[in-house]
Amino acid sequence: MHLSTEVISLAETVVVQVTQRVDYEIEIESLEKRGTIRVSSSPRRLKPIPRNGLLCIRDRLSLANISPSERHPIILPYKGHLTDMVIQYYQEHSDHMGVMHVLCLMREKFWVVKGNAAVWRVLSRCISCRRGHRKVIEQLMADLPPDRGESGKPPFYRTGVDLFGPFYVKQGRTEMKHWGVKFTFLNMRAIHLEVASNLTSDSFISAFRRLLARRG
């Protein structure tokens, strides 16, 4: 049997109505009779309104040029088989992109009470999500060498060195390569920068001598 779009849409509406009648029966009856719901009700902060036989939220986007389902998303309970199926659908539709992306896609049509926690609950059972969003393993750092823990020494008494670059500097009509030489004091945040015109030993020794002339 071929299922048309109208039949699928009607079936979806009926399933949502049944779910809302089970979880929000008192709220729906209160809205139908008095137009308000009790203060302690979980969907009260969403300012629910009846729309096409469904309980929807009343948002500030009522005048926006968007689809009716985006203006008034359908309210779904925090827990339930239908809620889990909806979250799983958008999770697979988003290629397991994470909680916030699934929640953003889902709210174009459905608004789950405590949606962040509900999506976390469902995604935590997905093996693909757990593999893709697991905590990155951090390398255990080795102990610092004794020179890094010395105190009472003048700056650059114990020094590390590294080169970075190259940087292109114009000299006349040609471009020359220059490198930066970074001298780092090992037991406090102090650095000294020099410039090396090339990567030869003479160029580095010249930069090192300039460090000694300046820092002692």
CATH code for position 25:
1.10.340.70
Structural domain containing residue 172: 146-215
How far is Cα 86 from Cα 109, in angstroms, rounded to an integer? 10
| The pLDDT value given to residue 180 | 93
Backbone angles phi, psi at 134, to 5 degrees: -70, 160
The number of distinct structural domains making up the chain is 2
On whether both 22 and 112 belong to a single domain, the answer is yes
Residue 1: which pLDDT band, with cuts at 50, 70 and 90?
low
On whether both 99 and 199 belong to a single domain, the answer is no
> Could you report the per-residue pLDDT of 99-142, keeping only the tens digit for each?
888 898 888 889 888 888 999 998 888 888 777 777 777 888 88
Residue 83 is assigned to a structural domain of this protein: yes
Residue 137 is assigned to a structural domain of this protein: no
> Could you report the per-residue pLDDT of 152-193, keeping only the tens digit for each?
777 778 888 999 989 898 888 889 999 999 998 888 788 899
What number is the average pLDDT over the span 25-45? 75
3-state secondary structure of 154: coil
How far is Cα 55 from Cα 31, in angstroms, rounded to an integer? 10
Helix-, strand-, coil-residue percentages of the chain, each rounded to 5: 45, 20, 35
Pairing relation of β-strands 159-171 and 110-112? unpaired
> Could you report the per-residue pLDDT of 4-31, keeping only the tens digit for each?
888 888 888 888 888 888 888 888 777 7
Residue 93 is assigned to a structural domain of this protein: yes
Is the pTM higher than 0.85? no
Residue 140 is assigned to a structural domain of this protein: no
On whether both 155 and 194 belong to a single domain, the answer is yes
